[in-house]
Structure formats: C-alpha cells, structure tokens
Amino acid sequence: MRFEQTELLNIAFEMEGAPDAPPVFLLHGWPDAPIGWKPVAQALQQRGFRTIAPYLRGSHPTAFLSHDTPRYAVSVAMAQDVIDLADKLGIARFHVIGHDWGARTAYSLSVLFPERVQAIVTLALPYQPRGEFQLRSFDQARRYWYQFFQCTEAGADVVRRDPVGFARVQWETWSPAGWFTEEDFKLASEHFDKPDWVETTLNAYRSRYLPAEAVDPRYDALRVRLRSTREVLVPTTMIQGGEDYCDLPSSSEGQEAHFFAGYERIVLAGVGHFPHREAPAAVVQAALRRFGPARG
C-alpha cells in the first residue's frame, strides 16, 4: 500500500506493474474495496499494464486531512480526487475501470477531463447525462430501498450503528447466491466500520433526495460543467450483469447516442452487481479489447 497527500486527503492506493507501463485506474464501488480488483489487476499487469487502485474518499485508510472538510461523496469530488492522485504520480493520461461509485466517477472523469482519460470501462451503472440521478420505474425504486432507508433519521442511525451489517445485506441481495466467500466479505468489510465510510455513504445517498445535506463549494464549478454536458467523448465499454438485482439491466439499454468516441455494452448472463468479482476474466477481456495492447 502507498500514500499520496493532496490538498484535502491522504490517499491510500495499491499500485502494481512496471513504472513505465500504461496506467489503468481501478475505482471500486460501494460497498467494496480495492481488494475486489485483485484478479482483474493481476491479469492486466500480466498483459503489460500498471494498475492503480485507490481507496476512494471515505474508505479507510484514505483519510481527510481536516475534520472540517465536508464528507462530500458526489462523483465530481471523487473525479477530482483521481486527477489529484494522477498529478501526484506524474500520470498525464490513463485508462479507467470503475464499478458502481467507481463507474459514476469514470463517467464524470470522461466528461470533465477528457484530455486526461484515454478510455473507460464501467461496471453495473449506466451513464447519467448531466449527472442527473433518475428513478426510471417503480421496480427500480423498490430495489433502491437502501437509499431511501438512509434518508430517514432512524435508518441513518442504524447504518451508523452497524455499517458492516448494512453492507452485508447488499452483498447478499444484489447478485445470485453463492458469488462470494466469508473471506471475501471479511477482507472488504474491514474498511466499512470507520466514521468516514459511514458519513460519505450517508452523504452520497441522502444528497440525492434531501436538500439540506452537506455540500463542498470547492466543486461548484465542476458540478456546473457536468450539468451542462450530455455527451461522452471518451471510448467507453459498459458491462452489465444480466442478473443484477440492484441496478436493473434495462437501465443501461439504449444509451448509444450519448457516446461520440465508440461505445459497447456487454451483458454477462448469470452475473449480478459485481462483475469484476463474479466474472473477472470477462471484465479483463472487455478491457483489453477497449484499451488495446499495452505496447505498440
């Protein structure tokens, strides 16, 4: 594990591969941690890439430098965190693979910083033009119960008391049974029972529905830019689990018109919300097709 300090964060990250190899940022989702990328990362390293898997803001041991910094968890903030880390590492251009929150961050990176991003592969979450969160159907809303739950004070208190138990419910219900082991969950959940993880989780979901949630004015300009853009100018592959019980597969259909530099949508039969854990070989294959060879 390595660390780099930015203006707001001490960012922890895992980095492997040759120092001069083409870089790929692996952005984890919620509720997960960089350990989930291990099979994908190792395969990419064997193919000549360097992988950088940061612990996103709120995920221990990444830490805010000040108690006064809002635990703001929208995608523009996380996109800026990635740019700040890339700058610290001297990386001008890079590929991205993002899952869940990481997918949303990848889309925001491609819209806000297209000169930095070569190509993206997103897992589980569809593109949201202008960064606008939408409830497309009653069926989808029913699957988002965990978001509405956090918008009640009683629900938020439960999450604060037992964040690991709350995360466990999502792991058990977002994919077909049997996709993870107790060791898998133990290694990921070590990062969930910290105050910043809880507060960024609550901010991420409550801010979608409750107007009084904390914001950070540092990101106002990025938010305005994101809201003014519908098109993605970065080559994109979107991977959807055909048995995703959180984000309906139908939610990622018919999005081709938003992508101006190439777009492919892949649906993996029998796979749920965590394609990088459930079908890592398929994710690697899709990424290599999108990124091209590491050399030449």
State the CATH number of the domain containing residue 49: 3.40.50.1820
What burial letters (b/e) apply to 214-230, b meaning 16+ CB within 10 Å?
A: ebbeebeebbeebeebe
Q: Tokens representing 119? A: 């190509």
Q: What is the tens place of the pLDDT at every residue in 98-132?
A: 999 999 999 999 999 999 999 999 999 999 998 88
Asked whether residue 93 is domain-assigned, the answer is: yes
Asked whether residue 222 is domain-assigned, the answer is: yes
**What's the pLDDT score for residue 230?**
87
CA–CA separation, 176 and 216 (whole Å) = 38
**What's the pLDDT score for residue 134?**
83
Number of structural domains in the chain: 1
Asked whether residue 86 is domain-assigned, the answer is: yes
First to last CA, the chain: 30
Asked whether residue 19 is domain-assigned, the answer is: yes
Is the whole-model pTM more than 0.85? yes
Look up the domain containing 30 and give its range.
Answer: 2-291
Nearest CA-CA partner of 239 in 162, 157, 127: 127
Asked whether residue 296 is domain-assigned, the answer is: no
Residue 247 CB contacts under 8 Å (≥ 6 apart), including other chains: 124, 125, 126, 140, 143, 273
Asked whether residue 184 is domain-assigned, the answer is: yes
**What's the pLDDT score for residue 296?**
55
CA–CA separation, 40 and 279 (whole Å) = 9
Average pLDDT across each block of 10 residues of the chain; the chain has 296 residues. List them in order. Answer: 97 97 98 98 98 97 97 97 98 98 98 98 96 89 97 98 98 98 97 95 96 94 94 96 97 95 98 98 98 84
Nearest CA-CA partner of 131 in 111, 151, 155, 150: 111
CA–CA separation, 202 and 70 (whole Å) = 12
Asked whether residue 253 is domain-assigned, the answer is: yes
Asked whether residue 69 is domain-assigned, the answer is: yes
